[in-house]
């Protein structure tokens, strides 16, 4: 009987108080709430994290974006929370700056999720460039009044280069061969010759194979011009002389 009552209470809560979701859009200027004086405002965020993710725009066309996630602080001020604003500044050769505002679709009725755990949300956006330092800041809305301390949370994120398992899908990295798997095999034909086989890449027609003897620092190399037009990259075979 008790279990039935608890189930009915849970179903009733879910019907009356739907869980808040977020709707995000660009807002690079000041938030309208900043111009209004508020008696009470929500507290700051409890946690803010950033990671890179790969999204598929079309066949073999990828976009690398930020996945920004945040956790709300579990206190009474959560009932005043309307939105969270996130701003990203990128510093490389050119400086970039953009912001999004994520509105909560419902008012918060509890400090934690009905199912247990803290309120956590995430936003995927903000394109990532290679080897760039980003400053990510977030604050809750309505924010503090003018001339008052505005609680906010910020983190730094440095994007890696083409060797990263996510960034290797950037168009610039793909054109440099980040996704090329040469599948190299080598077989010793005789005392002085090694046969090297590898799969070519549709992005290039000039290859160099280098082999080095374990007992010598000398090396032998060979450049091959191999123009081709094929849907399936062919396998190239090279005969290299072992270094003395």
Contact indicator for 233, 200 with CB cutoff of 8 Å: yes
My answer on whether 125 and 219 are in the same domain is no
Counted residue by residue, the chain has a size of: 244
Mean pLDDT over 102-115 rounds to 94
My answer on whether 38 and 98 are in the same domain is yes
My answer on whether 71 and 91 are in the same domain is yes
Residue 6 has pLDDT above 50, yes or no: no
* Chain centre distance of CA 104: 23
Q: Domain ends where: 125, 145, 174?
A: 174
Per-residue pLDDT of 110-129, as tens digits, reads 999 988 899 999 999 999 99
Mean pLDDT over 67-88 rounds to 96
Contact indicator for 85, 138 with CB cutoff of 8 Å: yes
Confidence of residue 8 (pLDDT cuts 50, 70, 90): very low
Q: Domain ends where: 174, 199, 219?
A: 174
The pLDDT of residue 227 = 52
Count of the separate structural domains present in the chain: 2
Contact indicator for 219, 210 with CB cutoff of 8 Å: yes
My answer on whether 215 and 99 are in the same domain is no
Q: The domain containing residue 234 runs over which residues?
A: 180-241
| 166 closest CA partner among 58, 60, 62 | 62
Per-residue pLDDT of 126-149, as tens digits, reads 999 999 999 999 999 998 777 777
My answer on whether 168 and 215 are in the same domain is no
| 143 closest CA partner among 33, 47, 45 | 33
Other Cβ atoms closer than 10 A to 162? 18
Per-residue pLDDT of 142-197, as tens digits, reads 987 777 777 889 999 999 999 999 999 998 998 888 888 888 888 877 777 777 78
H-state helical runs in the chain = 2-16, 171-175
My answer on whether 71 and 141 are in the same domain is yes
Q: What is the CATH number of the domain that holds 117?
A: 2.60.40.2160
């Amino acid at each position: 009987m008790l279990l039935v009552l608890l189930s009915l209470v849970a179903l009733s809560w879910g019907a009356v108080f739907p869980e808040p979701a977020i709707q995000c859009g660009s807002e690079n200027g000041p938030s309208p709430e900043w111009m209004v004086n508020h008696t009470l405002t929500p507290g700051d965020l409890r946690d803010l994290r950033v990671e890179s993710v790969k999204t598929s725009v079309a066949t073999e066309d990828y976009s690398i974006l930020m996945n920004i996630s945040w956790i709300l602080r579990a206190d009474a001020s959560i009932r005043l929370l309307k939105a969270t604003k996130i701003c990203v500044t990128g510093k490389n050769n050119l400086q970039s700056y953009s912001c999004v505002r994520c509105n909560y679709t419902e008012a918060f009725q509890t400090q934690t999720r009905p199912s247990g755990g803290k309120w956590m949300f995430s936003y995927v956006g903000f394109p990532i460039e290679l080897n760039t330092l980003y400053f990510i800041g977030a604050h809750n809305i309505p924010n503090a009044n003018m001339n008052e301390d505005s609680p906010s949370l910020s983190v730094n994120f440095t994007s890696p280069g083409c060797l990263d398992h996510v960034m290797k899908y950037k168009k610039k990295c793909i054109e440099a061969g980040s996704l090329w798997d040469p599948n190299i095999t080598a077989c010793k034909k005789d005392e002085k010759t090694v046969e090297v086989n590898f799969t070519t890449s549709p992005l290039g027609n000039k290859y160099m194979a280098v082999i080095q003897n374990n007992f010598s620092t000398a090396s032998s190399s060979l450049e091959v011009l191999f123009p081709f037009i094929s849907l399936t990259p062919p396998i190239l075979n090279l005969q290299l002389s072992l270094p003395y």
